[in-house]
Each structure stands twice: as C-alpha cells, then as structure tokens.
Amino acid sequence: MNNLWTELRRRNVLRVAGVYGVVGWVLAQAAALLEPALSLPPWFDTLVVTLLLLGFPVALLLSWAFELTPEGIKRTTDLHGDEPHQAPANRILDFAIVGGLGLVAAMMVFMPAPERTASIPAELVAAISPASIAVLPFADLSPAGDQAYFSDGIAEEILNVLAHTDGLKVASRTSAFQFRKSTIGIPAIAKSLSVRHILEGSVRRAGETVRITAQLIDAQTDAHLWSQTYDRPLTTATIFAIQDEIAKAIVGQLTTSIGGAPTLKAPPKSDTDNLDAYDLYLKGRDLFINRNEERLGEAARILKQSIARDAKFARAWEMLAAVYAVSSAWGLTQEQDYRALSMDAADKALSLNPDLSMPYAVRGIAQKNLVPRGGTAGWEDSLASFSQAIARDPKNTTAIFWRGTTYELLGYFDLALADLRKCLEIDPVYEICRRFIATEHVLAGRIDEGLRVYEQGLEKGYRNNESLFAAAYAARGDRAAALALLVLAYPKRPQWVRPIFRSLVDPNFNEADRKDAIALLDATSSPEGDQVDARFYLRDYAGMPTADDQNPVWWYRFDSAFLKSEARKKMIRQWRLPEYWRKHGFPPQCRAVGSDDFVCD
C-alpha cells in the first residue's frame, strides 16, 4: 500500500485529482448559474456535470502515464527518481489544492440544498389531477430589466389559451402570478396551486429580436418534460405564433393526462399588426391589473396612445373600457362621465370583435350604474350583458363577480352567493369575491358567519369595505374591532372616526351630537362612496348622495328604524328595484303590497 501511495505521489496523480476536483466544482457551479442567465436549455448544467464526471478517470489515467516537464510531455516510466520533484512552486501548488478542496467541502456542507429537488408528497399525488397546470410569470431577461410587463403579457396569453382547453385544469393568473419572486421551489408551488405541472420561462427582448424560452415541469418528479427556445424577429405575428406553438406543445405533452386529442379552442390572436400599439396595450393592461388611483389614470392615457396607433385594435378598446368601468369606484372624476365612456369603449371593442367577453361585462356594469340616473337600460339589460360575457368566457371571474354584486343590489343574496362562490372556485385568491361572500351573509343578517369569512380574507392581508364590517362588529358588541376598522376605513378623514364610532356604540350619542357630526361631513370634501356610508351611520338619510353600487345601504340591517323608514323605500324606488321584482319575483325579505307598493324586512 505504501508503494502504491508513493507511486501515486511520484506520478502526480494526487495533485491532478485535487486540481480536477476544485476546477470541476467551479465549472459545475458556473454552468448552473449560466443556464437561466443565458436562457440555455435545462439540460445544459446536467451535461456539464456528466462530462466532468466522465473526464475524471481519464485525467487520472493520463497523469499516471504521462508527466509535463520543461522538455515537454513524457511518459512517466522514462523519468528517473522515486520521489516527485519538490520545488517551492510545487509545494505552494499543493497548499493551494488542499485549501481549495477544503473550501469546496465547506461550501458543500454549509450551502443550503436547493428546494427544487423536493417532490410532491405521495399522499397528495392522488388528489391532484395529472391534467393540471400553472403558468408562472416569465422572467424578464432584457438588458435593462424593464420589460416585466411584456414578459407577463406573453405568459398570460399562453395561460389564456390553455385555460380554454377542455379537460385541462389551469390555475388562474392571480393564483399563479403571486409566486413571481418566490424561492420555495417548483414542487411547493405546484402543491399550493393543486396542479401537477408547471410552465415557466423567460423573455429576452433586445432591439429587433426576441428570445422566448419555455419549459414544462412535472412537479411530482421535478423532471423537465419539454423545453424550447425561440429566437425570432420582434413582430406581433411572430410573438403570437410562438405562443401558439408553446400552447400546442404543452397540450401535446399532456394529451395522455387529458385524454384523447384535445384541440385549442381559442388560438391566440394579435388583433393588431402594429408592434407599438401592442406594446402600449401590454403596458396599459399591466397598470390596470396592478391598479391604484394613479395607475388607472396612467393606464387610460397609455391605452389611448395604443388606440391612436391602431384604431382597429379591439383588445385595446376592451381594456380601455375596463379602465373606465372601475375608475369611479377608485375615486377618479376629472369631470368625466366614466360610465358613458366605458359604454362607448365597450361598444367600439365589440364592433371590432364581437367574440370578446370583457366588453359585455363592462356594458353590464355601466347599464347597472345608469339605472338610478334615468338610464334607458334596465336590470334585465345589465344581467343579460353579464351573462353574454360569461357565455363567451366561462372563466371570466370579473364578469361573474360583477353579476354576483348585481344580484346583491337586487336583494337576491342566494344568487349572489352562488356567483361569488363560483368566482372563488375558478380563482381561489381573488379575495374580493371572498369579501363579498362575507358581505352577503352580513346583509342577510348572518353576522357571525359574515365576520368569520371576512376574517379569512383579513388573515391574507386583504382589505375592502371596512366601514360595513366595522358596523357588523359594533352590532356584535366588539368595540375594539369596530374602532380599528373605522380607522382603516377613513385614513384621509380621521376626524370622522370618533363621531361615527360613537353613533355605532354609544347609547348617549344624541341629536346634538348627530348634527355636529353631519356639519363636520358637510365641511369635508370626500368621494361619494365615503359620504354614503358615513351619513348612513349618522342617520342623515336625506343628506346622502345617490347610493352607488359599492354601498347598497338599503340592505344594511344596523338600524331597525331605517328598515321601516320612507328613506329606505325612496332609495329602493330610486334604483327601480320594484319594477324588476314584479316581473321576476320578489327576494325573500320583500313582498308586494297591492299593485304599486311593497314592504321589505
């Protein structure tokens, strides 16, 4: 054994093995880093490691047989001496090799193992359909890193196509895109979304070209089933052709799981040949999806620029209609009638492409909001528009949500609950649907159940309509929760909190207090929606502006006197509810009295 060790040292085999180990480990780490950065195929790092492993015994054999000398490479047997030459440089090299090996060993021990190698627990595999997939947001690999809206748009277009494939369960955009910056690993993401497969990818846009990489992963085994990189000229035609190819490839890979040979029902359509118009559309859509008051105004401006570049771009008109439809709810006025603007934009979109879904939903919301303002459209028109939208896209959760809230306004709480539950079934993290499920329970008098569902959303960090639930907590006797929610409800008007809180919980809140509080509201400029519920809690029914669809206070049950008041009847008549009820049936809490009167509990 000593002779073998001496011979290995003499022939520099040990030195070569050490150098190979350090350099090989560095190359393997570099391959793992370069693969996603350069959009290389997913098997690239595996190939590098395999070649390194195969090369190791070859390097040892060569070091045994040959040695590098100042006179060139010579066979080791031709050299003399039993010990290797121990020049100072060689000793330094030996120390460097030992240090390098120690560093590699330490990093292998202390570096956390990648989570992605985990697999879905066996007990969950049976519960997850193999015909299921989530499309994660594609990474933006553009040089400036400013194309996230573009890469998101590519991923969403593919998701929308897959979502219309029979027999394939596709996680919603809202659910999948929440994992944009997650580091929990593919199997954990798939488990959270209850899907078997994950599609991930990247987009690199540079000048006149685009590179789109996509890969399909089986989360149960963490195996790559398919991957492809597309390098194409940057045009709308090529972008949608790539999306079509990716969708077809995914469906082809999952054909066995889905059963039969399914076809894509809705191949992607660009609707425009103008790349600038399409790019602006994606920017506007991104601002709408991640909206706040400022972003909505910017979204409208950008979408109008898109339309200016291509007036026949139907989806740009569709998105502009959606922006206008929600603008009033976000407090945007700018002396514009957003309801009329949304209707005009929706009509224009449908004139260009009658197969679109969202313009019908926008028409439904506009028709509903025009009812108390003397609009010629009625409740039947609004509900018919929502149903048209859902017929064209059964997974349009916005249309389903809007129809549910329309049933709420009409007092059909069970129909509202059915739509809102359907909304959550399609998109489990569309929290506004959960919030309105809680609302329906509160309006129907089931306060404990409503607050239970409300708290489920609150635990997820979702906030909406705090004043209604503040009143519900006050009715249940929870003063602290009521006060906390009123602070959240009126962040820009803290002076309102105390009088409204007292009106809800203090039996000594008298008429003089009420008049002082109303004077405070009169002196404060605020959005119509805030004025509606604030004046309701102060019982200033005559001073309330036209009740809007965000605050159907005629169904609020916190004031027994209000339930029997003429003020309540006036609101219900203003919204022309009795006309609809007499044609389609009264809700359970209301009934007809004679030929032209009614009563609601």
Whether the CB-CB separation of 308 and 329 falls below 8 Å is answered with no
Residue 319's pLDDT band, with cuts at 50, 70 and 90, is very high
Whether the CB-CB separation of 219 and 187 falls below 8 Å is answered with yes
Per the structure block, which two tokens stand in for 291? 């909206």
Q: How far is CA 354 from CA 141, 162, 179, 271, 285, in A?
A: 36, 21, 34, 12, 20
Residue 122's pLDDT band, with cuts at 50, 70 and 90, is very low
Q: Which residues pair with 210 in a beta bridge?
A: 205, 232
- The predicted structure's pLDDT at residue 110: 47
For residues 282 and 372, give the distance between their C-alpha atoms in angstroms, rounded to a whole number. 35
Task: Decide if pLDDT at 281 tops 70.
Answer: yes
Q: Which residues pair with 74 in a beta bridge?
A: 67
- The predicted structure's pLDDT at residue 78: 52
- The predicted structure's pLDDT at residue 87: 45
Task: Decide if pLDDT at 295 tops 90.
Answer: no
Residue 410's pLDDT band, with cuts at 50, 70 and 90, is very high
Q: Rounded to two decimals, what is the model's pTM?
A: 0.75
Residue 24's pLDDT band, with cuts at 50, 70 and 90, is confident
542-550 average pLDDT score: 68
Whether the CB-CB separation of 133 and 98 falls below 8 Å is answered with no
Handedness of CA 231, 143, 138, 190 (dihedral sign): positive
Ranking 19-33, 417-431, 549-563 by mean pLDDT, the lowest is 19-33
For residues 466 and 307, give the distance between their C-alpha atoms in angstroms, rounded to a whole number. 38
Task: Decide if pLDDT at 25 tops 50.
Answer: yes
Classify each residue of 165-187 as buried b or exposed e, where b means 16 or more C-beta atoms within 10 Å of its C-beta: beebbbbbbebbbbbeeeeebbb
For residues 502 and 514, give the distance between their C-alpha atoms in angstroms, rounded to a whole number. 10
43-66: pLDDT as tens digits: 566 667 777 777 777 666 666 565
CB atoms within 10 A of CB 329: 16
384-400 average pLDDT score: 94
Whether the CB-CB separation of 212 and 203 falls below 8 Å is answered with yes
Q: Where in the chain is the domain with CATH 3.40.50.10610?
A: 122-258
- The predicted structure's pLDDT at residue 113: 42
453-481 average pLDDT score: 92
CATH 3.40.630.180 is the classification of domain 122-258: no
Residue 401's pLDDT band, with cuts at 50, 70 and 90, is very high
346-385: pLDDT as tens digits: 999 999 999 999 999 999 998 888 787 666 668 999 999 9
Nearest Cα to Cα of residue 133 among 213, 215, 194, 201:
194
- The predicted structure's pLDDT at residue 107: 52
Nearest Cα to Cα of residue 90 among 140, 142, 16:
16
Q: Which residues pair with 201 in a beta bridge?
A: 214
Distance of CA 453 to the CA centre of its chain: 21
The DSSP string of 533-571 is HHHHHTT--TTPPPP-TT--GGG--S-HHHHTSHHHHHH
Query: 3-state SS of 503-519?
Result: HHHCCCCCHHHHHHHHH
For residues 224 and 220, give the distance between their C-alpha atoms in angstroms, rounded to a whole number. 11
The DSSP string of 431-481 is HHHHHHHHHHHHHTT-HHHHHHHHHHHHHTT----HHHHHHHHHHHT-HHH
Per the structure block, which two tokens stand in for 580? 């609809």
Residue 121's pLDDT band, with cuts at 50, 70 and 90, is very low
Per the structure block, which two tokens stand in for 338? 């957003």
For residues 546 and 233, give the distance between their C-alpha atoms in angstroms, rounded to a whole number. 54
Per the structure block, which two tokens stand in for 421? 């539950």
For residues 63 and 502, give the distance between their C-alpha atoms in angstroms, rounded to a whole number. 89
Beta strands per DSSP E along 295-363: none
- The predicted structure's pLDDT at residue 83: 46
- Tell me, what amino acid is at 113? A
277-298 average pLDDT score: 89
Helix, strand, coil shares of the chain as percentages rounded to 5?
Answer: 60, 10, 30
Q: Which residues pair with 133 in a beta bridge?
A: 170, 197
The torsion angles phi and psi of 518, rounded to 5 degrees, stand at -65, -40
Largest CA distance in the chain: 122
Residue 28's pLDDT band, with cuts at 50, 70 and 90, is confident
144-157: pLDDT as tens digits: 888 899 999 999 98
Residue 456's pLDDT band, with cuts at 50, 70 and 90, is very high
Query: 3-state SS of 81-142?
Result: CCCCCCCHHHHHHHHHHHHHHHHHHHHHHHCCCCHHHCCCCHHHHCCCCCCEEEECCCEECC
Task: Decide if pLDDT at 117 tops 50.
Answer: no
Q: Name the range with the highest mean pLDDT among 12-26, 170-184, 324-338, 413-427.
A: 413-427
Average pLDDT, the chain: 82
